Structure 1
Amino acid sequence: MAGKSLQDLKQQVEGAAQEAVTAAGAAAQQVVDQATEAGQKALDQVAKSTQDTVDKTANQASEAFSGFGKKLGIMK
């Protein structure tokens, strides 16, 4: 009878250990997912900022060229 109780206890401990490992794995995956999402948001922001800067610089260059052309009389 004692052998059966020890076997049951062993199974309970193994089950609890497996549940703990599963929970830890799920928590670790959640951390990875959140970090990935945060990283993607940061990259998206950098891309948007870079595109805005490129657009602004292109507009300024176009305006400067237009102004230069008007001064030289080759543009209206």
Structure 2
Amino acid sequence: MAGKGLQDLKQHVQGAAQEAVTAAGASAQQVVDQATEAGQKAMDQVAKSTQETIDKTANQASETFSGFGKKLGFKC
């Protein structure tokens, strides 16, 4: 009888340990997912900011060359 009780206790402890491992794994995966998402958002923001800077620079260059062309008498 005592062997049966110990076997049940062992199974209960193993089940609890497995649940803890599963929960820890799920938590770790959630942290990885959140970090990945945050990294992607940061990269998206960098890309957006870079594109805006490129657009502004191109517009300024276009306006500058247009201004030079007008000063020199070209139609722009």
1:51-70 pair list within 5 angstroms? 51-70=51-70
**What amino acid maps onto 1:10 in structure 2?**
K
User: 1:25 is matched by which residue type in structure 2?
Assistant: G
RMSD: 0.7
User: Does residue 4 in structure 1 map to residue 4 in structure 2?
Assistant: yes
Q: Percent identity?
A: 86
How far is the alpha carbon of 1:75 from its aligned partner? Answer: 2.0
Q: Following the alignment from structure 1 to structure 2, what is the Cα–Cα distance between the partners of residues 58 and 15?
A: 64
**TM-score, normalised to structure 1's length?**
0.97
Amino acid at match of 1:36: T
Q: Structure 1 CA distance, aligned partners of 2:74 and 2:57?
A: 23
- Matches of 1:74 and 1:21, distance apart in 2: 75
Query: What is the distance in 2 between the residues matched to 1:58 and 1:7?
Result: 76
One-letter amino acid of the counterpart of residue 18, structure 2: Q
Amino acid at match of 2:31: V
Matched residue SS, 1:52: helix
Q: Which runs of 5+ in 1 are unaligned?
A: none
4+ residue runs of structure 1 moved beyond 2 angstroms? none
How many residues align? The count is 76
Amino acid at match of 2:39: G
Give, in whole Å, the separation in 2 of the partners of 1:74 and 1:20: 76
